[in-house]
Amino acid sequence: MINLKLIETNYEEFNRKLKAKKVDDGVLKNLLDKYNECKKEKAKLEELQAFQNANSKQLALLASKKEDTSALKNSLNENKQNITNAQEKVRMLEEEVENIASSLPNLIADVVPIGEDEEDNVEIKKVLTPPTFDFSPKDHYDLGVNLGWLDFTRGVKVAKSRFVALRGEGARLERALYNYMIDFNQKRGFEFVNTPYIVNATTMYGTGQLPKFKEDLFKIEDEELYLIPTSEVSVTNLYADEIINKNDLPIKMTCYSPCFRKEAGSAGKDTKGIIRQHQFGKVELVSISDAQNSDKVFNEMLDCASDLLTSLGLAHRHLMLCSGDLGFSAGKTVDLEVWLPGQNKYREISSVSNCYDFQARRAKIRYKDENGKNQLAHTLNGSSLAVGRTLVAIMENYQRKDGSIAIPEVLRKYM
């Protein structure tokens, strides 16, 4: 959640950075009005409580002197009712402020370029050179079907569209990939964790999926439980409502999980193949840092994901996302896009984001600083990598003229 104190201390910056993420002026005006109204009602409540405290002492003094207290008693009883009414009004206003604020995205970092959509993202650099072929390269759909790796017909039969069954060498390659990724990340200092694939509503709220993205989630019927859209949700929330010793920071974790997304609003996009599925595997990087070192940790995570792609021999590029393409919880994101010969373009395979204190404020993740004072932690997450899309990239980049696919050297022992 955003820091509401910015409404008072720097409303212009607050307003500018949220508008850069396409938040409507009316929403911000409503939030400001409700916030100011709530402050005024809290001040009135404090006055009523001060009156009650002071005159309760006066009542006790008069009673001890056997003086008439009836008028003061009546006044205190009336004031007590006023306090009850004021408390309810403050509660309702706080709830309104909370509801509006919880629907607002994180503020953009100063380094984020202002832009409307993915067309305004800024390329930082390219890594490796895309391969050349002496034949016309096929896309992963044709390669996978011809090799018997991708069984779309039976995947759809047992579920619905945008599900696939991986078979034979395709299934083995997927397993090899997530084992290799986990080993690679562990060597970079990320602890391997396994977390639940089903989480409660509080956990979804903590990382920003609820309430705004409820329609994109798969919910368990008659339960306040959801299938995770990414293991970022469960891994980050391992430290929800905790105070961490600063000496234990940064906490760096990696996790493999299936991810489940309805992909609401993506109808007609990437329907062919396994680029955009309702269920897909992903190896995630998650870090919890103190405020001073989170950008350093961000760079470490970005290097880890990029070096992983390099180790697989996959050409890719780094893109700084503009404000209009930035995710809800992210203050800054760099995407890694891998080269896909079958599509003749770069496609997203990883996003590394610094959420700063946005998720930590929602999930109450704190640490004690050197002065013993509680501070909000910074949370970071990154794909390392989307396993299905890495499978696609290997199939298309390592294809041979006869339709077979070479296996990258680093994966062979995992096969």
User: How confident is the model over 263-296, as pLDDT tens digits?
Assistant: 755 556 676 899 999 999 999 999 999 999 999 9
- 366 - beta bridge partners? 243, 376
Annotated binding site for ATP: 261-263, 348-351
**pLDDT score for 59:** 87
- 365 - beta bridge partners? 242
pTM for the predicted model, two decimal places? 0.92
Instruction: Find the DSSP H helices in 103-139.
Output: none
Task: Give per-residue pLDDT as tens, 223-237.
Answer: 999 999 999 999 999
Spatial strand order in the sheet of 374-376: 242-245, 365-368, 374-376
Q: Cβ–Cβ contacts within 10 Å for residue 249, how many? A: 20
Give me the residue spans of the domains in the chain.
5-102, 118-414
Percent of the chain scoring above 90 in pLDDT? 87
Q: What is the CA radius of gyration of the chain?
A: 27
Strands (E), 140-293: 150-151, 165-166, 191-192, 198-200, 225-227, 242-245, 251-260, 279-289
What residues act catalytically? 261, 276, 348, 351, 389
**pLDDT score for 272:** 85
Task: Choose among 305, 393, 392, 395: nearest CA to 352.
Answer: 305
Annotated binding site for L-serine: 230-232, 284, 383
CATH class for domain 118-414?
alpha beta
**C-alpha pair distances (Å), 203 with each of 235, 288, 316, 322:** 10, 16, 33, 28
What six digits make up the tokens of 106? 């994180």
SS3 readout for 326-358: CCCCCCEEEEEEEEECCCCEEEEEEEEEECCCH
Rounded mean pLDDT, 60-66: 86
Strand 191-192 relative to strand 251-260: parallel, antiparallel, unpaired? Answer: parallel
CATH class for domain 5-102?
mainly alpha
- 375 - beta bridge partners? 367
